[in-house]
């Protein structure tokens, strides 16, 4: 019969605790950066909703200026503000009626908000681990100082 190998864990040191602590801090920073990207996406989608509604309020036949980059604009005539072409994923776009487009965009916002909450929960967990590691670091530091 083969003997079962028992692995011995390396002793906990201040260096290993600090390394783990730096890892959690980096994770928190990365999660915050992801949240910023999600927030930007939500803000952009809300701006799209506002623009769609404003164009519908203007109505067919109104003259508008469309930004084309570097501060330049081109004049255009609003032909059909009741139909919107939206990205439905994988580089595919679909023509939707005004209310359908708004519902589609609202769904995207809701999905991003769920993702944001998930990222926030991950930050809370990382903070809890950080607090635990700080307590262990303090305890080990006091033991080594004696």
Report yes or no on 3 lying in a domain.
no
- In this prediction the pTM is 0.80
Report yes or no on 131 lying in a domain.
yes
Residue 52 has pLDDT above 80, yes or no: yes
Helix axes 98-145, 14-58, angle to 10 degrees: 160
Task: Kindly report the length of the chain.
Answer: 146
Report yes or no on 7 lying in a domain.
no
The count of structural domains within the chain is 1
Residue 74 has pLDDT above 80, yes or no: yes
Report yes or no on 80 lying in a domain.
yes
SS3 content of the chain, % helix, strand, coil (to 5): 65, 20, 20
Cα separation of 110 and 10, whole Å? 45
Closest among 111, 87, 98, 83 to 53, alpha carbons compared: 98
Report yes or no on 76 lying in a domain.
yes
Report the CATH number at residue 64: 1.10.287.370
For residue 141, the Cα-to-chain-centroid distance in whole angstroms is 37
Report yes or no on 82 lying in a domain.
yes
Residue 116 near residue 35 (C-beta atoms within 8 A): yes
Report yes or no on 1 lying in a domain.
no
Residue 73 has pLDDT above 80, yes or no: yes
The domain containing residue 137 runs over which residues?
Answer: 14-145
Residue 6 pLDDT? 58
Report yes or no on 5 lying in a domain.
no
- Span 101-125, average pLDDT: 97
Task: Assign 132 a pLDDT band (cuts: 50, 70, 90).
Answer: very high
Task: Assign 71 a pLDDT band (cuts: 50, 70, 90).
Answer: very high
């Amino acid at each position: 019969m083969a003997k079962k190998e028992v692995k011995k864990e390396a002793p906990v040191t201040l260096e290993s605790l600090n390394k783990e602590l730096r890892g959690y801090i980096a994770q928190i920073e990365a999660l915050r950066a992801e949240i910023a990207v999600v927030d930007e996406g939500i803000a952009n989608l809300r701006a799209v909703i506002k623009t769609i509604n404003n164009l519908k309020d203007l109505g067919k036949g109104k003259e508008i200026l469309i930004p084309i980059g570097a501060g330049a604009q081109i004049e255009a005539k609003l032909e059909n503000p009741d139909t919107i072409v939206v990205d439905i994923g994988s580089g595919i776009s679909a023509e939707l009626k005004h209310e359908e487009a708004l519902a589609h965009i609202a769904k995207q916002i809701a999905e991003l908000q769920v993702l944001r909450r998930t990222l926030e929960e991950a930050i809370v967990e990382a903070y809890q681990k950080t607090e635990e590691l700080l307590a262990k670091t303090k305890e080990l530091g006091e033991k080594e100082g004696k």
